[in-house]
Structure 1
Amino acid sequence: MGSVRLEAITWERLGDLLAGRLLDLKPDDGSPWPRIAFDGAPAARPGELAHRVSEALRIRGRTSLVVGTEGFLRPASLRLEYGHQDADSYYDGRFDTGALWREVFGPLDSDGDGRVLPDLWDPVSDRATRSPYVQLPPGGILLMHGPFLLRHWFPFDLSVHVLLSPGALRRRSPEAEQWTLPAFARYEAEVDPGATADLMVRADDPRRPAWNG
């Protein structure tokens, strides 16, 4: 990733600015539901930013739905086929991308019905969550968060990558998750998410983010 000019900002202000930008976002494919990615490693907490934006949208009278990819894990027998700490499996086979296409993105196509499944699989019980579908009204905004989102050709209308430097990622990842670090190094090398995303937020210091918006 080349040199990027970044501006210091607070998380509160960032959530407000992103929400304001989404109000006027029109999907290129004619879908009435804008689809937004909050991409980043768990240690970068992209889900917190997604929820912050969702709250800012609510205050503005706009409906949104936050969906985390952790709710779409593959069954343990598949995602742990090569052991509990296989970085390549974590990168390639942890998430049920087929279910995400079928239950989230398909219903939000231009000819979809807007009925989205917010989650599918409980990793603790290793069973289906049986959550009810959520009806997202026209103009409602999908806010999806999780790692590796920018490598699946998902039809996002705006993508935000929450970036941690390799050192910050290592420091902020719990000891039990250090084995995942090679997967994020591979993602950086193959996808360069900081350059691929429409917007980048650097979060090395969790109290003082900076962005290129």
Structure 2
Amino acid sequence: MTVEPVPADTRTRIVEVAARFLREEGPGAVTTRGVAQAAGVQAPAIYRLFGDKDGLLEAVAEHVMSSFVAHKASTVAAAAEADLDPVEELGDGWRRQIEFGLENPALFALLSDPRRVAGSPAARLGKDVLAARVRRVAAAGRLAVPEARAIGLIQSAGVGVITTILATPPAERDPGLADAVFEGLLAQILTDAPATAGSGHLTAAVAFRAVAPELEHLSDPERRLLVEWLDRIVSSPSAR
């Protein structure tokens, strides 16, 4: 017996209906029967496309996160083209990420599961967007720690802030918590002024590392060697 393929627009419709249920009523509302009925399909179509409810939730998380991350990527590109202040752009990205997590608690819970994040293309793209923002800060000579350290600190702080706020009753929430955490974070990762020749080895190396892959006057092997040297400097405890 030949199984007819499910049209792509049907898959999209199912995911969008499930995303609405997840956003408005939480994971418990995302049942195969309810989603199928609202999407105008038979329940077997959902099983054929997603396997089970967990598979459907994975698809929903990827769909919503992909849309959000794609928007973030476009803002990073626009900021670079307009030569906007990279520290201000990093702050804008932080605030949008916090708002997204607080407005989508069920989705945030799904995406906070390390097992889901590890295999999520959207999560990887989201980290790439953050890395691009951090690299702009580094290239401006404002980053006082290695890029990888800054990215890890920002991600950890963001997840912690969202988790803490969501776990606090609305009437007891501190409206300035996210901004206070971000200010403290900046104090850990930024220099007071752009790097100069006298700024210290680490700050100068971090700034140079950010632009080293783009040095067109060097060959590919030379750029790779330069990056390796700079990575060795910024990861050395003696440079801190």
TM-score, with length taken from structure 2? 0.24
**More strand, by proportion:** 1
RCO higher in structure (CA 8 A, sep ≥6): 1
TM-score (norm: length of structure 1) = 0.26
